[in-house]
């Protein structure tokens, strides 16, 4: 108990420091790396200050060329790093940017600007300005959280985020819209927190019906990033897709991650999660077989080739208690909106939970047996954990009987595209393997198309966020 208290107290100190840092926080965005020269423009006269604190005034445009630990500025050499400002917006590679530029000793071009101005160049690139206003608020909050979290943990690389999908797409001032600007102003300073810390808020286009657990994708177990079912039905451009991939391309992808099985003869889904999303593949070839994490393989083959790890096909599983291998889409419940409102509290218990009981409750949590409200109640009131264990046991029993005062979700009626089960094989024919699936993206955290569907049902931004990131809280720091 004392150890836990010290941990919580230290976390509180850290977040108090973070709160001060969030205000007027600048973010460092990498625009170019690995280049030998950059051309920079400005609406007004440029001002360049070098490492020796010498000022250079090259006019409204300048081409900088790297020369060892210096940059050639006009006809002179200026020691790196350089700080660059201008009269108005700065320009690089055909785009306009707010704030200033910074050229590091490694000749990396960085845009340094206020987080709120940064978001003005992120939202239109990550979400359509024609999407619902409430959804744009959601995107503003999670994008702000991600950016601030990165800026508070700046690494030795010298910048916080890149401008591509490896972090968040950022396109500068040229893409700003009135709708996305309104969403940013309406949520100014709002950030998603987990136990007084900034939450990690990844998002993706479409979960395909059930989001992924962070531990299955990126390896770290984060309680607020466990898989959750989409609460309402929706359609997106990614609701169903087919990828016909040559066996040679599979082999090349496996080689990238150091896996060699010879000529690929069979691809098997060897493990799935509670929602039916593939966790591991087994590749069988002429030189042996190997198990590969599905998210790792998707990255190797290309995220635009294998759009998601929510694969479909095969016969639906009959309704019943899901086994350890997971279940098809049709075998798992879906809730309507009323099922995610707070419920009658679970009974409290002063009896400590055994290691076995703790493990069982953890598995139930990751398998989606509890609603977002219940997860939050469990986290805020640890004495109720044993009560929730009993509720989970009842829900997993024959007929899914519920504890008193707890309503169970309805069963999803759509079985047209069931998820693959563990042990099922991806079809291979004539040198090609055919993958079918739903959704697009890594699947962790918020589903953009799913969140839009909830907004259209009347859910507010905070409620949506607390559903996709169960146990978190939206807080305003400014």
Per-residue pLDDT of the chain (478 residues; tens, 9 = 90+): 334 433 333 333 343 334 344 445 799 999 999 999 999 999 999 999 999 999 999 999 999 999 999 999 988 999 999 999 998 999 999 999 999 999 999 999 999 999 999 999 999 999 889 999 999 999 999 999 999 998 887 767 789 999 998 888 999 999 999 999 999 999 999 999 998 899 999 999 999 999 999 999 999 999 999 999 999 999 888 888 999 999 999 999 999 999 999 999 999 999 999 999 999 999 999 999 999 999 999 999 999 899 999 998 643 333 322 222 222 222 222 222 222 223 334 555 556 777 667 767 766 665 555 555 556 566 656 777 777 776 665 444 222 333 333 333 332 323 356 777 877 888 788 889 999 999 999 999 999 999 999 999 999 999 999 999 999 999 987 5
Question: Is 253 a domain residue?
Answer: no
Total of domains in the chain: 3
In this structure, the answer to whether residues 470 and 398 fall within a common structural domain is no
In this structure, the answer to whether residues 100 and 124 fall within a common structural domain is no
In this structure, the answer to whether residues 175 and 154 fall within a common structural domain is yes
Question: Is 383 a domain residue?
Answer: yes
Question: Is 360 a domain residue?
Answer: yes
In this structure, the answer to whether residues 121 and 103 fall within a common structural domain is no
In this structure, the answer to whether residues 131 and 181 fall within a common structural domain is yes
What does each C-alpha distance from 345 to 172, 339, 376, 380, 466 come to in angstroms?
Answer: 48, 14, 11, 12, 19
Question: Is 313 a domain residue?
Answer: no
Closest CA relative to residue 464, chosen from 119, 140, 146, 120: 140
Q: Which domain holds residue 41?
A: 34-107
In this structure, the answer to whether residues 124 and 193 fall within a common structural domain is yes
State the distance between the two ends of the chain, measured CA to CA, in whole angstroms: 33
Question: Is 90 a domain residue?
Answer: yes
């Amino acid at each position: 108990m004392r150890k836990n208290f010290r941990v919580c107290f230290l976390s509180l100190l850290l977040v108090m420091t973070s709160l001060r840092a969030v205000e007027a926080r600048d973010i460092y965005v990498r625009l170019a790396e690995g280049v030998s020269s950059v051309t920079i423009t400005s609406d007004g006269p440029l001002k360049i200050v070098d490492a020796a604190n010498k000022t250079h005034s090259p006019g409204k445009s300048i081409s900088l060329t790297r020369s060892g630990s210096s940059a050639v500025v006009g006809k002179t050499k200026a020691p790196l790093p350089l700080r660059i400002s201008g009269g108005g917006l700065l320009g690089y590679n055909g785009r306009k940017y707010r704030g200033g530029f910074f050229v590091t000793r490694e000749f990396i071009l960085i845009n340094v600007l206020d987080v709120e101005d940064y978001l003005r160049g992120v939202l239109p690139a990550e979400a359509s300005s024609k999407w619902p206003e409430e959804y744009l608020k959601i995107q503003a909050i999670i994008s702000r959280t991600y950016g601030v979290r990165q800026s508070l943990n700046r690494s030795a690389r010298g910048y916080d985020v890149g401008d591509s999908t490896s972090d968040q797409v950022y396109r500068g001032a040229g893409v700003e819209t009135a709708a996305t600007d309104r969403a940013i102003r309406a949520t100014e300073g709002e950030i998603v927190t987990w136990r007084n810390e900034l939450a990690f808020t990844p998002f993706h286009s479409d979960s395909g019906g059930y989001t992924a657990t962070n531990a299955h994708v990126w390896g770290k177990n984060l309680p607020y990033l466990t898989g959750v079912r989409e609460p309402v039905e929706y359609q997106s451009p990614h609701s169903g897709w087919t990828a016909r991939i040559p066996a040679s391309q599979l082999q090349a992808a496996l080689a990238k991650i150091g896996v060699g099985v010879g000529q690929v003869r069979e691809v098997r889904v060897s493990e799935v999660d509670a929602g039916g999303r593939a966790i591991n593949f087994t590749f069988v070839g002429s030189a042996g077989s190997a198990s590969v994490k599905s998210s790792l393989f998707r990255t190797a083959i290309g995220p635009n080739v294998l759009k998601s790890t929510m694969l479909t096909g095969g016969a639906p599983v009959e309704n019943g208690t899901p086994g350890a291998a997971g279940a098809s889409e049709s075998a798992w419940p879906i809730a309507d909106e009323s099922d995610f409102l707070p419920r009658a509290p679970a009974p409290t218990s002063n009896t400590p939970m055994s290691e076995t009981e703790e493990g069982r409750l953890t598995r139930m949590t990751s398998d989606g047996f509890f609603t977002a409200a219940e997860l939050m109640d469990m986290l805020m009131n640890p004495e109720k954990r044993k009560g929730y264990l009993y509720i989970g046991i009842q829900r997993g029993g024959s007929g899914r009987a519920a504890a008193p005062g707890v309503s169970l979700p309805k069963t999803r009626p759509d079985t047209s595209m069931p998820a693959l089960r563990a042990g099922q094989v991806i079809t291979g024919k004539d040198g090609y393997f055919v993958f079918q699936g739903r959704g697009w993206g890594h699947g962790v955290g918020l589903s953009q198309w799913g969140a839009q569907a909830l907004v259209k049902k009347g859910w507010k931004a905070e409620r949506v966020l607390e559903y996709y990131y169960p146990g978190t809280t939206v807080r305003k720091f400014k």
